[in-house]
Structure 1
Amino acid sequence: MNKLRIIGGVWRRLQLPVASVEGLRPTPDRVRETVFNWLGQDCTGMDVLDLYAGTGALGFEAASRGAGRVVMVEQNRKVVAQLQENRAYLLSKWTETTVPKPALVVDSGDVLASLKRFAMAGAGFDLVALDPPFRSELMLLTLPLLKPVLKPGGLVYAEWHENLFSDEAALCKVLNVREIEVLRHLKAGQVHAHLFALPAL
């Protein structure tokens, strides 16, 4: 069975089982390390939304580094069950006494429907992590729904098989914004990792 290793924060070095579902792989350690370097290694108090959560690598890592609330959205029932088990295990291992346990929520359902529900409820997130199934078109269906759930100046981290920044005008159009602030880009193997911010206003 594949294992997911938390690489930083309170749960550093803890290993978690990964559901045996075809195509399910954790975001590689090297990429995660880079992403959280981009974020300054610290997610203290952040509200994080992990879409297409899969192994929960990004959401659990953010919680380990101090995020106040992490919502992980996943549709596959087998994967959801494993996320719930790993959530319970990690919270039982919270040893930090100066920081409250994070609110970790596993949302079982369709990402697009969940995003519409969050927007209706006025939920706001500081960081949205977006890692849809590889080579699917779900990225282009999901991006237009992000703006209503992001706090002003909120960050988006996205993994895809193409460089979203190669056509910045097209990306802005999909996001329904006039401009974005491109913060970072990394290509690791076949994966492009992107971090960008929507306008504060």
Structure 2
Amino acid sequence: MNKLRIIGGVWRRHMLPIAPVEGLRPTPDRVRETVFNWLGQDCTGMQVLDLYAGTGALGFEAASRGASEVLLVEQNRQVVAQLQQNKAYLLSKWPAAEGNAPSVQVDANDALACLKRLAGGGKQFDLVALDPPFRSDLMQSTLPLIKAVLKPQGLVYAEWHENLFANEEALCKALNVQEIDALRHLKAGQVHAHLFALPAV
């Protein structure tokens, strides 16, 4: 069975089983390490939304590094069951010396429906991670809903099979903003990783 390794923070080196579901791929270790370097290694106090959570690699990693609240959104029931098990295991390993354990929630729902519900409730996040199934049209349908759930200084992390920054005009149009701050981009194998912010207009 495939395993997911937490790279940094309180749960560092813990191994988690991955649900045996076709097409489920955790963000590669090297990419995850780079992304959290971009974030300064530290997610203390952050509220993180992990859409299309899959293995939960990004959300669990953020919680391990101090995020106070992580919401994992995943539709596949088998994957959700594994996320719940992994969450329970990790929280049982939270050291008392570290203070309060993070709030980690698993939302067994469609990401687009979840985004609309969160926006309707006025909920906003410091970091939104977006990793829909490659070669689906879900990136295009998700991007327009991101702005409503992002805090003014919030960041978006997106993984895709194409470089979204290659056509910044199209990306801005999809996000319904005038401009973005394209902060970081990396290509590793099939994966394009992007970190960007939506400047306060």
Question: Structure 2 length as normaliser, TM-score?
Answer: 0.98
Q: Give SS of 1:158's match.
A: strand
Pairwise CA distance, 1:96: 5.2
Structure 1 equivalent of residue 44 of structure 2: 44
Structure 2 equivalent of residue 198 of structure 1: 198
CA distance in 2, matches of 1:132, 1:176: 19
Structure 2 equivalent of residue 153 of structure 1: 153
Structure 2 equivalent of residue 73 of structure 1: 73
Which residue type is aligned with residue 33 of structure 1? E
CA deviations on 1:46-91 (whole Å, 9 max, x unpaired) are 0000000000000000000000000000000000000000000000
Which residue type is aligned with residue 101 of structure 1? A
> Does the alignment pair 1:4 with 2:4?
yes
Structure 1 equivalent of residue 25 of structure 2: 25
Structure 1 equivalent of residue 13 of structure 2: 13
CA distance in 2, matches of 1:96, 1:66: 14
| Structure 1 gap ranges (5+) | none
Structure 1 equivalent of residue 184 of structure 2: 184
Structure 1 equivalent of residue 108 of structure 2: 108
CA distance in 1, matches of 2:40, 2:7: 14
CA distance in 2, matches of 1:190, 1:83: 25
CA distance in 1, matches of 2:63, 2:90: 10
Structure 1 equivalent of residue 54 of structure 2: 54
Q: Give SS of 2:97's match.
A: coil
> Does the alignment pair 1:63 with 2:63?
yes
CA distance in 2, matches of 1:177, 1:99: 39
Structure 1 contact 10–96 (Cα < 8 Å) conserved: no
Which residue type is aligned with residue 56 of structure 1? G
Q: Give SS of 2:151's match.
A: strand
Structure 1 equivalent of residue 172 of structure 2: 172
Q: Give SS of 2:158's match.
A: strand
Which residue type is aligned with residue 130 of structure 2? L
Question: Structure 1 length as normaliser, TM-score?
Answer: 0.98
CA deviations on 1:91-143 (whole Å, 9 max, x unpaired) are 00001524421000000010000000000000010000000011111001000
> Does the alignment pair 1:163 with 2:177?
no
Identical-residue share of aligned pairs (%): 78
Q: Give SS of 2:106's match.
A: strand
Comparing 186-195 and 97-106, the one that deviates more: 97-106
CA distance in 2, matches of 1:59, 1:108: 15
Aligned CA-pair RMSD:
0.8
| Structure 2 gap ranges (5+) | none
Map 1:127-146; keep pairs closer than 5 Å.
127-146=127-146
Q: Give SS of 1:12's match.
A: coil
CA deviations on 1:125-184 (whole Å, 9 max, x unpaired) are 000000001111100100000000000021000000110000111111110111110100
Which residue type is aligned with residue 14 of structure 2? L
